[in-house]
C-alpha cells in the first residue's frame, strides 16, 4: 500500500512564537484509519490545518495524496474532505442547501450534486429534516450534517478534527458507525484527531500520541498497550510528598514490578501480577507506617500509554463538557 500522507520534520510556529507543532514525522497509508490522540492544545488541529492547506508550515515537508502542501494546495483541496473542530453549518440554510452549496464549492455538476446530496442525507439520517433550516437542528444533527458536507465530492481522504467533541454518547456512537462504514465500505482514508481514548481505541487502526507538539508514541492501539506491557497499579498516599520516595523504595524490591513512575495520584506501578501485588503493597506500606488513601489497578489502556510517556492523564471527559447534550434538544 502506498502512503497517502507523508509528513517529515514538520514544524509550525505561530506568529506569537508558540511552537504548536514541534518536528513531527509520520505517514498514513492509503485506506488506513489513522488517529492523533492528545489533550487540548497538543498540536492536533494545527497539524490538520497544515495538511488541509489552511496554514503555512514553518519548516519540514508534507505531502497529501502525493501533492506538496505548499506548492500544490489547489490539487489537495479537490481530493480531501475536512470536518473542522467547530461545527460549521450555515444555520440560515436548510440541511439540503448546506450540502448543495458544498457541492458547488467543489464545482460539481448540478445533476450530480442532487443525486449525491440525496445519498448523503440518507447516510446521515437527516432526510426528514432536509428542508428545515440547520439553525434548528440539535448538536448531534449539526455534526452529522457537517460530516456529510465533507463528503459531497467523494473525497479519497477525510480529515476529522475532533468529530465527536461535545456530543452526547449516543450521537457519538452514531458518528462512529458512519466513520467505520466510510472507511471499510468506501475505502476512504481517515485522519482523525481526538482527545477521547475510547474513540481512538475503537476506531483507529494506527495512531500517534501527541503532546506539546511532539509525537510521543505511535502504533496500533494493541501494540501501544502491549508496550506498556503490564497492568498498572495506581497508589495514592495520604501524604504523598513526604512518603513518596520511601514507598517507591519499598515497592521497587517486590517481584514482578517492571516500572514505577510519579503520577498525579502519587505513584504508578507497572507489573505483570497486579492482582497479587496489591495485597503485598498494602501490607508492606502499612507496616512501614505509610498511610494509603487508595489503591486501584487496571489493565493497560491508552491512557496508561499516554501516562507512561508524559506522566499525565488525558482526562478529556473532565475538560470538555458536552454543551450539545444540554442544549441540543431544542427544536422547532
Partner 1 sequence: MTLFSDTRYLFVRYLKKLVRNPILLFFSLFQPIIFLVLFTQLLTNFSKFVVLPGGSYIEFATAGILLQNAFGSALQSGTSIVLDIDSGYLQKMLVTPVRREAILLGRLTSDAFRVVVQSAIILGLAYAFGAFVTTGVIGILLIFFTIAFFGLAWSGISLAIGMKTRSSETVFAIGGFLTFPLLFLSPALFPIDFLPPWVGTVSMFNPISYAVNAIRVLMTTGYDWGTILPSWGVIALVALVTMSLTLYQFRKVVR
Q: Going along the chain, which residue ranges are E strands? A: 3-13, 19-29, 33-37, 59-64, 67-68, 80-83, 157-161, 189-194, 206-211, 214-219, 231-237, 257-262, 266-271, 292-298
In angstroms, the CA 192 to CA 163 distance is 8
Q: Is residue 92 part of the contact set for partner 1 (CB under 8 A)?
A: yes
Q: Which of 21, 82, 134, 179: binder of partner 1 (CB under 8 A)? A: 82
* Dihedral pair phi/psi, residue 330, rounded to 5°: -70, 120
Least separation in angstroms between CB 158 and partner 1: 12
3-class state of residue 77 by DSSP: helix
Q: Is residue 114 part of the contact set for partner 1 (CB under 8 A)?
A: no
Q: Which of 25, 61, 88, 136: binder of partner 1 (CB under 8 A)? A: 88
Assess contact for 31 and 6: CB atoms under 8 A. no
Q: Which of 55, 200, 316, 322: binder of partner 1 (CB under 8 A)? A: 55
Q: Is residue 107 part of the contact set for partner 1 (CB under 8 A)?
A: yes
The pairing of beta strand 157-161 with beta strand 33-37: unpaired
Least separation in angstroms between CB 17 and partner 1: 18
DSSP state of 149: H
Least separation in angstroms between CB 61 and partner 1: 17
Least separation in angstroms between CB 52 and partner 1: 5
Nearer to partner 1, 82 or 285 (CB): 82
Nearer to partner 1, 102 or 138 (CB): 102
Nearer to partner 1, 83 or 268 (CB): 83
Q: Which residue is it, cell 497509508? A: 29
Q: Which of 68, 86, 131, 186: binder of partner 1 (CB under 8 A)? A: 86
Assess contact for 217 and 209: CB atoms under 8 A. yes
Least separation in angstroms between CB 195 and partner 1: 18
Q: Is residue 84 part of the contact set for partner 1 (CB under 8 A)?
A: yes
**Candidates 49-57, 198-206, 289-297, 320-328; binding stretch for partner 1 (CB under 8 A):** 49-57
Assess contact for 108 and 100: CB atoms under 8 A. no
Neighbour order of strands in the sheet with 19-29? 19-29, 3-13, 59-64, 67-68
In angstroms, the CA 177 to CA 280 distance is 44
3-class state of residue 274 by DSSP: helix
Least separation in angstroms between CB 68 and partner 1: 15
3-class state of residue 303 by DSSP: helix
Nearer to partner 1, 78 or 202 (CB): 78
305 Cα distance to chain centroid = 14
- The rounded radius of gyration (Å) of the Cα atoms in the chain is 23
3-class state of residue 172 by DSSP: helix
Least separation in angstroms between CB 126 and partner 1: 18
The pairing of beta strand 33-37 with beta strand 206-211: parallel
Q: Which of 52, 171, 195, 232: binder of partner 1 (CB under 8 A)? A: 52
Q: Is residue 106 part of the contact set for partner 1 (CB under 8 A)?
A: yes
Q: Is residue 105 part of the contact set for partner 1 (CB under 8 A)?
A: yes
Nearer to partner 1, 55 or 269 (CB): 55
Binding stretches for partner 1 (CB under 8 A): 52-56, 74, 77-78, 80, 82, 84-86, 88, 90, 92-93, 97, 101-102, 104-107, 133, 149, 153
Amino acid at each position: 500500500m502506498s502512503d497517502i500522507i507523508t509528513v517529515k520534520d514538520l514544524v509550525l510556529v505561530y506568529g506569537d512564537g508558540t511552537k504548536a507543532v514541534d518536528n513531527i514525522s509520520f505517514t498514513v497509508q492509503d485506506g488506513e484509519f489513522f488517529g492523533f490522540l492528545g489533550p487540548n492544545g497538543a498540536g492536533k488541529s494545527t497539524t490538520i490545518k497544515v495538511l488541509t492547506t489552511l496554514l503555512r508550515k514553518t519548516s519540514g515537508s508534507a505531502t497529501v495524496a502525493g501533492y506538496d502542501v505548499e506548492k500544490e494546495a489547489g490539487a489537495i483541496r479537490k481530493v480531501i474532505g475536512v470536518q473542522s473542530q467547530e461545527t460549521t453549518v450555515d444555520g440560515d440554510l436548510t440541511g439540503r442547501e448546506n450540502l448543495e452549496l458544498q457541492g458547488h464549492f467543489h464545482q460539481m455538476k448540478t445533476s450530480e450534486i442532487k443525486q449525491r446530496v440525496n445519498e448523503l442525507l440518507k447516510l446521515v439520517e437527516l432526510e426528514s429534516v432536509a428542508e428545515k433550516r440547520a439553525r434548528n437542528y440539535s448538536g448531534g444533527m449539526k455534526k452529522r450534517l457537517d460530516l456529510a458536507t465533507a463528503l459531497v465530492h467523494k473525497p479519497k481522504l477525510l480529515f476529522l478534527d475532533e468529530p465527536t467533541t461535545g456530543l452526547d454518547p449516543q450521537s457519538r456512537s452514531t458518528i462512529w458507525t458512519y466513520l467505520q462504514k466510510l472507511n471499510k465500505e468506501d475505502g476512504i482514508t481517515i485522519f482523525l484527531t481526538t482527545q477521547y481514548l475510547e474513540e481512538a481505541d475503537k476506531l483507529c487502526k494506527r495512531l500517534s500520541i501527541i503532546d506539546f507538539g511532539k509525537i510521543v508514541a505511535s502504533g496500533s492501539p494493541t501494540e501501544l498497550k502491549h508496550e506498556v506491557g503490564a497492568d498498572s497499579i495506581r497508589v495514592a498516599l495520604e501524604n504523598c510528598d513526604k512518603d513518596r520516595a520511601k514507598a517507591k523504595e519499598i515497592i521497587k524490591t517486590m517481584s514482578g514490578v517492571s516500572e514505577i513512575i510519579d503520577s498525579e495520584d502519587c505513584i504508578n506501578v507497572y507489573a505483570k501480577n497486579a492482582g497479587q501485588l496489591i495485597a503485598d503493597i498494602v501490607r508492606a506500606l502499612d507496616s512501614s507506617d505509610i498511610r494509603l488513601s487508595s489503591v486501584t489497578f487496571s489493565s493497560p489502556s491508552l491512557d496508561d500509554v499516554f501516562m507512561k510517556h508524559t506522566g499525565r492523564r488525558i482526562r478529556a471527559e473532565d475538560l470538555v463538557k458536552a454543551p450539545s447534550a444540554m442544549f441540543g434538544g431544542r427544536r422547532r
